[in-house]
Amino acid sequence: MESLQKWNCEMDKVKNVLILVVGWSFVFFGIVGLFLPVLQGILFIMIGLAILSSRSELVKRFLSYLEHRFPHYHEKVEYWRKKVRNWKKRD
């Protein structure tokens, strides 16, 4: 029983690290996409921020600011945020 709890704790840590890596990767590719015409930079950044918002209060506040400033992009963020939540529920 104790080893199962320890294993679950370790898996939670791995999930957190993977979420952070995926989120920051999207942000990185978004920044690169701002300079390359092939990638949709803003979209990648918004997806990365949506993923990171589950872990960071600072990112949540920034997304709130963006929601009021750019409502069109906010719809895209909400779409991806729902996808991320559904993905996390399946695990």
Kindly state the tokens that stand for 36.
């390359």
Largest Cα span, the chain: 53
Helix axes 41-52, 2-35, angle to 10 degrees: 160
For residue 57, what are the CA distances in angstroms to 24, 52, 54, 71, 77? 15, 9, 8, 20, 16
Q: 3: which residues sit within 8 A by CB, 6+ positions away? A: none
Is 0.85 topped by the overall pTM? Answer: no
Question: What is the number of other CB atoms lying within 10 angstroms of the CB of residue 30?
Answer: 20
31-68 pLDDT, tens digit per residue, is 998 898 887 888 888 888 888 888 888 888 887 887 78
For residue 15, the model assigns a pLDDT of 85
